[in-house]
Structure 1
Amino acid sequence: KAKVEIVLFKLILSAVRGVGRNPAVFSPLLKKADDLAFLENEYALASLEKIGSGGEDKMKIVQPPMDATALVEADSKLLTEEMMQIRSEIVTLGQIRHMNILPLLAHLARPGCHLLVYEFMKNGSLQDILNDVSRGRRQLDWLARYRIVRGIASGLEYLHMHHSPGVIHTDLKPAKVLLDHDMEARISGFGLAKVFPDAHTHITTSDVVGTAGYIAPEYQQTLSITYMCDIYSFGVLLAGLVMGKLPSDEIASGLDLVKWMRNVMTSENPKRVIDSKLLGNGYEEQMLLVLKTACFCTLDDPKERPNSKDVRCMLSQIQQ
């Protein structure tokens, strides 16, 4: 049986009761809807083993009847009309197919919650790998990191420019990038994603969603989301992979990761910003070019940032 990742979004809804229980299956990897029958067991869901967390998500694992599955739980207060919007967006996400996006296999709506079923990724999240690298438990060389960021860029381009309607992820970060058995990046975690109709210039939210350090400054100020918010988040992720740091890390002089990167990149010795584990590998100039791309992606003015296609092209040209 296919290994799957199950994403559980708890929705605190007093007005919605008895939402359809029949699962919507989007992939032939699930042979029959009965494969998801165990999700009806409330006790089984409540007793899952916690295996990690990120932002509002709580990662858990469940065993039978599938080989190995992971579950993410997120609480949020939603109105009835917002519930309907989420159900519409889930259908859109179920149609997305791209090698760098984790495909949604199935959706099961239950009273007060949604279950989203995804294919299980053997190498876990980029966040987990970076944690292991920082603790000396494993290595992640530059070529592997470079392949990962190019994959993410390709997935973003598809979401923004080649899928109709477009999709804004809104919470792109290492924890939302999973890696398959070949270490190919798969963008995941679409629980906060927004479908972006072609006629729209932005989407306004009632609260800021996303993760501190990865949220574009204009979104925090105006509550308006555009594709450029994803570009900013990608720039932070890109910088972190080269620098070996995360926004949550303590940065010199009290600066945040983006400002520190800008300061060092304009100094006489920009190479000192590169992760010390990567120095001496012969790719320093390539890594500095990737950091320049990260600087463009994190410009304060969203109009000055490159779009996802431009970012993907920039990264591809660096290899040449």
Structure 2
Amino acid sequence: MATGTLLILCLVLLSIGWSCRGLSLVQSDLDAFVGFSKSVGLPGQPRWRHPCATAGVRCSRNRIVKIELDSMHLKGFIPPCIGGLTELRVLSLANNNLSSKLPPEIADCRKLEVLNLRHNRISGETKEEKTTIVPRLPPRRHRLAEEKINSTGPSINIAPKSSPQSGNRTRNSTAAVAPASPRTTPKKKHKKRSATKWVAGFVGGALTGILSGLLVSLLFRMAKNIIRGRRKLSGIEIFSPMIKRAEDLEFLEREDGVASLEIVGRGGCGEKIISTPAQDVVDLSEEDSKLLGKRMRQIRSEIQTVGHIRHRNLLPLLAHVARPDCHYLVYEYMKNGSLQDFLNEVSAGRRELEWAARHRIACGIAAGLEYLHLHHSPRIIHRDLKPANVLLDDDLVARITDFGLAKGLPEANTHMTTSNVVGTLGFIAPEYHQTLKFTVKCDIYSFGVLLAVLVVGKLPSDAFFQSTEELSMVKWLRNVMGSPDPSRAINATLLGNGYEDQMLLLLKIACFCTVDDPKERPNSKEVRTMLEQVKH
């Protein structure tokens, strides 16, 4: 039974066919999406990519609820099988090259709220067809619009019935409302009176808006000045309510403020608690002063960005204390330390880390990475993802740290190996050595190595890999996973608990993330989706 289960689960990640990857979707949605993709000419996706991991597609409770493929150079037509997506709420295909007619089966999408087909070559329905489709759609906030092909080409729109006062319409669409009954032409006097009321209302509304804007701006400036006043212009910037008073951090502004504190760790952005003797002050040239000022402003800007990031799997920055010679970043203390520290304790036999906790940690790191890569603006690339930069809270929830700061700091303080290399040996993607450019796919490579560490129980720098023929953890893992006995890659302390199949699946995901060609690596959302499907 276990062998059969292993074979099925391995096929999920080896072949990654649509039929296997669609198990988490209702079959009708999967069939409808496959037919839709072929009909509209959706660019070819990797065979292992899950429909819900496709950019622009969103799923909820095993159903597709959103398809947003604007400006994707799609060609073809909207097929009748679109009606099979009965939970679809948003269908947006604007700015493509679709043609033919809108199928009547679209009315089967009874939960559809937004339908946007602007800038396509879809011809509108005839009057008879339109009357059969429109009444079948529920009275929601639908929007169906398209550019006219020529002067005789139809332009159609489905929208809520407007009240006489709400007459705003887009340039390329017309509201599908019942025609008004004939009325007599109003008198000239009535026209003048209406025009006067319209002008008065416009002027009054404009003045009200201007006054409201000025009031909000004034209140914002007053609040900002009050906050600055409370901080006494001391250079202390607080980002979290966990720190009640700025006075609690004033000791960091003194020369000997951290002299008695213990250094609990070091990372890519500096020591966790650092004490250095005061350096002699030297006179700077005007050019050096300008360069230093620019660098300081850049650092402050990046710290402000990081200070406002909030995610369950990212360690929040609580406060920032700026000094002429350094910057203090205040974080919440994690008593379980880093993932690397915890794994070292496990290797020494002093602690235990069961498989369920390791899987939960992997999913948490993937979720945090997805937020940095896809959901935060501007996008943030970590550049040094490794077990030492993942902290564990009291419940062993993963918290990524040291993110978002490496770009703005001096080169000498951001590198872990040499002055020209970003990151940590063993976790650096191979293409970085040729391009010296770090991308999101470099982060994915580092995450793949981290996944391997969770199961293998060894770091890439471990002496074990130096004694192998491959001389590399990643290459060694590829060979072992392709051998008749891939379970050799699993740490001995994890064997015999009944979860070997799931561990091998996680190692296969690690291999996907560390392929040599960065274009073949999955993105962070796809990685998180695959990890969540490995049930523990």
Task: State the secondary structure of the residue aligned to 1:211.
Answer: coil
Which is further off, 41-50 or 180-189?
Answer: 41-50
Asked if the contact 1:192/1:209 (under 8 Å) is kept, the reply is no
Q: CA deviation digits over 1:46-96, x for unaligned, max 9?
A: 443233445674344xxxxxxxxxx699xxxxx533433222111110111
Structure 1 match to 2:459 = 246
Which of 476, 479, 483 is equivalent to 1:267?
Answer: 483
Asked if the contact 2:334/2:393 (under 8 Å) is kept, the reply is yes
Aligned pair in 2 of structure 1 residues 274, 31: CA closer, same or farther (>3 Å)?
A: same
Which of 398, 401, 405 is equivalent to 1:185?
Answer: 398
The letter of the residue matching 2:431 is E
Structure 1 match to 2:520 = 304
Q: Tell me the TM-score normalized by structure 2.
A: 0.49
The letter of the residue matching 2:319 is A
1:168-183 matched pairs, under 5 angstroms = 168-183=381-396
Which of 215, 236, 241 is equivalent to 1:28?
Answer: 241
The letter of the residue matching 1:293 is I
Q: CA deviation digits over 1:22-41, x for unaligned, max 9?
A: 21111111111111101012
Aligned length: 277
Asked if the contact 2:239/2:317 (under 8 Å) is kept, the reply is yes
Matches of 2:275 and 2:479, distance apart in 1:
37
CA drift of 1:254 comes to 5.1
Matches of 2:374 and 2:361, distance apart in 1:
20
Asked if the contact 1:168/1:194 (under 8 Å) is kept, the reply is no
Structure 1 match to 2:40 = none
CA drift of 1:272 comes to 0.4
Asked if the contact 1:243/1:273 (under 8 Å) is kept, the reply is yes
Matches of 1:183 and 1:134, distance apart in 2:
17
Aligned pair in 2 of structure 1 residues 156, 193: CA closer, same or farther (>3 Å)?
A: farther
The letter of the residue matching 1:319 is K
Matches of 1:59 and 1:233, distance apart in 2:
22
Structure 2 match to 1:234 = 447
Task: State the secondary structure of the residue aligned to 1:123.
Answer: coil
The letter of the residue matching 2:457 is G
CA drift of 1:141 comes to 1.0
Aligned pair in 2 of structure 1 residues 128, 229: CA closer, same or farther (>3 Å)?
A: same
CA drift of 1:102 comes to 0.5
1:1-320 matched pairs, under 5 angstroms = 21-53=234-266, 57-60=270-273, 80=292, 81-190=294-403, 192-194=405-407, 207-250=420-463, 251=465, 252-253=468-469, 255-319=471-535
List gaps (5 residues or longer) in structure 1. Answer: 1-19, 61-70, 74-78, 196-205
Q: CA deviation digits over 1:203-262, x for unaligned, max 9?
A: xxx932111111111112211111111111111110011111101102123521111101
Task: State the secondary structure of the residue aligned to 2:399.
Answer: strand
CA drift of 1:293 comes to 0.6
Asked if the contact 1:170/1:192 (under 8 Å) is kept, the reply is no
Task: State the secondary structure of the residue aligned to 1:42.
Answer: coil
CA drift of 1:105 comes to 0.8
Q: CA deviation digits over 1:89-113, x for unaligned, max 9?
A: 1111011100000001111111021
CA drift of 1:191 comes to 6.5
Matches of 2:378 and 2:264, distance apart in 1:
34
Asked if the contact 2:380/2:403 (under 8 Å) is kept, the reply is no
Asked if the contact 1:55/1:211 (under 8 Å) is kept, the reply is no
Task: State the secondary structure of the residue aligned to 1:167.
Answer: coil
Q: Percent identity?
A: 65
Structure 2 match to 1:198 = none
Aligned pair in 2 of structure 1 residues 56, 249: CA closer, same or farther (>3 Å)?
A: farther
The letter of the residue matching 1:260 is W
The letter of the residue matching 1:313 is T
Aligned pair in 2 of structure 1 residues 54, 113: CA closer, same or farther (>3 Å)?
A: closer
Matches of 2:275 and 2:338, distance apart in 1:
13
Q: Which entry has the higher C-alpha Rg, 1 or 2?
A: 2
The letter of the residue matching 1:51 is V
Q: Tell me the TM-score normalized by structure 1.
A: 0.81
Asked if the contact 1:102/1:186 (under 8 Å) is kept, the reply is yes
Task: State the secondary structure of the residue aligned to 1:224.
Answer: coil
The letter of the residue matching 1:102 is L
Aligned pair in 2 of structure 1 residues 166, 56: CA closer, same or farther (>3 Å)?
A: closer
**Higher strand fraction (1 or 2):** 1
The letter of the residue matching 1:99 is R
Task: State the secondary structure of the residue aligned to 1:115.
Answer: strand
The letter of the residue matching 2:533 is Q
Task: State the secondary structure of the residue aligned to 1:159.
Answer: helix
Structure 2 match to 1:15 = none
CA RMSD of aligned residues (A): 2.2
Matches of 1:177 and 1:225, distance apart in 2:
19
